[in-house]
Chain A
Amino acid sequence: MSATIAAAAEPEAKLAANAPAPRPRPAHGARTRLSAFNWVVIALAAAYFLVPLIMTGIFSFWEGGNRYGFSAYIAMLSTPGFWTSLFLSVRLAIETIILSFALLVPAMIFVHLKAPKLKPLFEFISNLPFVIPAIALIDGLTTLYTGPSWLISTPNYLVIPYFFLALPYAYRSLEVGLTTLDVQTLTEAGQSLGAGWGEIIFYLLLPNLRTALIGAVLLILTTVIGEFTFASVLLFHTFAVFINDTGQNAITEAAALSLFAFLLTWLLMLGVLLTGRKNAATVGGAH
């Protein structure tokens, strides 16, 4: 497939010379700036996404009447539950990412390679977590599994429902990446060079799936940090639970917390992205 396209692209210059009408705008790949229309789209999107955040921010600085100040932020940072709950949520997020990658990535790669007939099953499974409400899943889980206590009584128990919560997003992200990448050809190439499964996965496939993997990491991270229902029903003090509890008494502190959580996670994401990417990817880049 790639050979024919490449052959088609080669004589482009010749074809362009014989083109029926001159093209008024530069070829797609030669554009170095976004058009005005593009910037309008971005501006509208920015307005939609930033205004509610700004409103939350304004409210977090409100101290009554027309006074504004930092008291909510100071109070927020000095509340004892703040740091413990934040660290707990981040730790759970990392554990969920590890579990998701260990279980999901090899299984999906092998389904793509060896058992494409199982793909509909995986699709179905990946959509199940939407279907089963959190309350019901907790009811079922706690009825079936009452031990061992080193798992059930610690917050690490949450990693299991969190894996499923993040599953649809992680699966979809990986699926798009695997579909776009020609896994079959790459693997065959690697095998014909004598590589084992480990080398194929770690040196061939995963580097080419970088965008999809980063997407999955981002989605899992933000899902876990933002998750509230499971943690509150199972009585664990995660960050989202802390924010909600604060909102019941200290309303400006709660707004400060939401904004802080948003900005902190955003910076984390930026960090992951900038360190995970070497060159900028564009439409039409290989990856």
Chain B
Amino acid sequence: MPNDKLLFGRRHYAKLGLAGLAGATVASLPGLRPARAAESMDALIAAAKKEGKLNVITLPRDWANYGALMDKFTAKYGIAIDDANPDGSSAQELQAVRSLKGQNRAPDALDIGPSFASIGVKQNLFSPYKVATWDSIPDGMKDPSGLWVADYFGVVSIASNTNVVKTAPRSWADLKKPAYKGMIALNGSPLGAGAAFAAVFAASLGNGGSYDDIAPGVHYFAELAKLGNLNPAAATGPALLVSGQAPIVINWDYLSLGYRDAAVGKATIEVVVPEGSQPYGSFYCQAIPADAPHPNAAKLWQEWLYSDEGQLLFLAGYAHPARYADLAKRNLIPADLAAKLPPAGPYSQVKFATQEQVAKAQKTLAELWPKLVHI
């Protein structure tokens, strides 16, 4: 619009220039970059392709279908993915961001627990980004300024190897039966493993506790231990469940269902959300580190994860995606996929504990568990 320029004087341009300079300065200060709405996809794809690589961390291939998500991303955009430390923890992800700062191996995208997302925000480790489908994500599952956003959630379930266990337990009361002596394992220590912590919280909800009170859950497991039903081995993979050494494992539903599918031919696994009690769920959060070596690839990865196709891939991995309600409303969930999933009832009733409730529960757990739970 060459003619419009003549309508403004030099002072106006000076002001524009200053504003631009200020904006650029603010934009270049780490952590203070303003959140942008999702850029045009083509520009993003081109920029990401130029970076050529994406570093992800702690994404096991059989966790929430990440294997398929990574493969399809590479196939679609031609960007290679390096998946480091698939078995790592959220704390290790933040540690990697800190210790690998400035290196080409530093992680570009994080998938961390909500308490760690809060820590990352406090330590200014993330840069904000809002995906194109931002508005269809429920409010309780995203940071208002875009520093983190929930990608999928799961609920606590009971997985049983029915080759070893003749009748699968279906409720918290069932687990106390003497037939299950030495059979029930957790996915690690509740003080260190998210799934085990959730199991205790879920047990609490099913035995008179609430989101503000995890103590009944600890007492429940103390009783299981005294009865001899609790098996202290850490079922951090499918080995103990499928081999039958610990034929009942209380774990995230998406993990158990994944193990069920992978064990076809080796063992029959049945997965049940505990009946007669409020289901306990938790979500994991996506975040982009502020110093990511491939920031555009990271943003494209997020766009991919939150697209309809990406969210449905999560669902195919039995992890209920953050935009589940939106997808269901628009009838986008294929019937055959819906058939393989557990009944939708518990998922519509799931509620998430707030950060304060989780922090309080952690403290109670750390005090009570070493005192009370002994086999």
Residues of B within 8 A of A251 (CB): 237-239, 242-243
Q: Is A153 a contact partner of B85 (Cβ separation < 8 A)?
A: no
Q: Is A248 a contact partner of B237 (Cβ separation < 8 A)?
A: yes
Tell yes or no: A146 within 8 A of B by CB. Answer: yes
Interface mask (A221-260 → B, CB under 8 Å = 1, otherwise 0): 0000000000011110000010011011101001100000
Residues of A within 8 A of B243 (CB): 59, 62, 251
Residues of A within 8 A of B84 (CB): 235
Q: Is A142 a contact partner of B239 (Cβ separation < 8 A)?
A: no
Tell yes or no: A63 within 8 A of B by CB. Answer: yes
Q: Is B102 a contact partner of A63 (Cβ separation < 8 A)?
A: no
Measured between alpha carbons, how far is A228 from B95 in the docked complex, in Å?
17
Residues of B within 8 A of A139 (CB): 95, 99
Choose the segment among B117-125, B262-270, B301-309 that binds chain A (4+ C-beta atoms closer than 8 Å).
B262-270
Tell yes or no: A79 within 8 A of B by CB. Answer: no
Tell yes or no: A64 within 8 A of B by CB. Answer: yes
Residues of B within 8 A of A244 (CB): 87
A64-B266, A64-B267, A146-B102 known; A249+B95 contact, CB < 8 A: no
Q: Is B103 a contact partner of A232 (Cβ separation < 8 A)?
A: no
Q: Is A153 a contact partner of B105 (Cβ separation < 8 A)?
A: yes
Residues of A within 8 A of B267 (CB): 64
Q: Is B99 a contact partner of A142 (Cβ separation < 8 A)?
A: yes
Residues of B within 8 A of A254 (CB): 237, 239
A-B contacts counted at CB < 8 A amount to 68
B324 to chain A, nearest CB (A): 25
Choose the segment among B54-62, B134-142, B144-152, B223-231 that binds chain A (4+ C-beta atoms closer than 8 Å).
B54-62
List which B239-298 residues lie within 8 A (CB) of chain A.
239, 242-243, 262, 265-267
Q: Is A249 a contact partner of B239 (Cβ separation < 8 A)?
A: no
Residues of A within 8 A of B101 (CB): 146
Q: Is B105 a contact partner of A235 (Cβ separation < 8 A)?
A: yes
Residues of A within 8 A of B88 (CB): 232-233
Count residues of chain B with CB under 8 A from any CB of chain A: 30
Tell yes or no: A219 within 8 A of B by CB. Answer: no
Residues of A within 8 A of B86 (CB): 245, 248
A59-B243, A142-B98, A244-B87 known; A249+B103 contact, CB < 8 A: no
Tell yes or no: B100 within 8 A of A by CB. Answer: yes
Q: Which residue of B lies closest to A232 (CB)?
A: B85
Measured between alpha carbons, how far is A64 from B264 in the docked complex, in Å?
9
Residues of B within 8 A of A142 (CB): 98-100
Q: Is B103 a contact partner of A245 (Cβ separation < 8 A)?
A: no
Measured between alpha carbons, how far is A64 from B244 in the docked complex, in Å?
11
Measured between alpha carbons, how far is A87 from B303 in the docked complex, in Å?
38
Tell yes or no: A149 within 8 A of B by CB. Answer: yes
Q: Is A248 a contact partner of B87 (Cβ separation < 8 A)?
A: yes
Measured between alpha carbons, how far is A138 from B87 in the docked complex, in Å?
18
Q: Is A249 a contact partner of B238 (Cβ separation < 8 A)?
A: yes
Q: Which residue of B lies closest to A135 (CB)?
A: B95
List which A142-168 residues lie within 8 A (CB) of chain B.
142-143, 146, 149, 152-153
Chain B residues in contact with chain A, CB under 8 A? 57, 60-62, 84-88, 92, 95-96, 98-105, 236-239, 242-243, 262, 265-267
Q: What are 28 residue pairs bridging A and B, where the CB atoms are less than 8 Å apart in the complex?
A: A59-B243, A62-B243, A62-B266, A138-B95, A139-B95, A139-B99, A143-B99, A146-B101, A146-B102, A149-B103, A152-B103, A153-B104, A233-B88, A233-B92, A233-B95, A235-B85, A241-B85, A244-B87, A245-B86, A245-B87, A247-B237, A247-B239, A248-B62, A248-B87, A248-B237, A249-B61, A249-B237, A249-B262
Closest 10 CB pairs of A and B: A142-B99, A64-B266, A235-B84, A251-B239, A248-B237, A249-B62, A64-B265, A248-B60, A232-B85, A245-B86
Chain A residues in contact with chain B, CB under 8 A? 59, 62-65, 138-139, 142-143, 146, 149, 152-153, 232-235, 241, 244-245, 247-249, 251, 254-255
Known A62-B266, A232-B92, A249-B61; further 4 A-B contacts with Cβ < 8 A = A152-B103, A244-B87, A249-B62, A249-B238
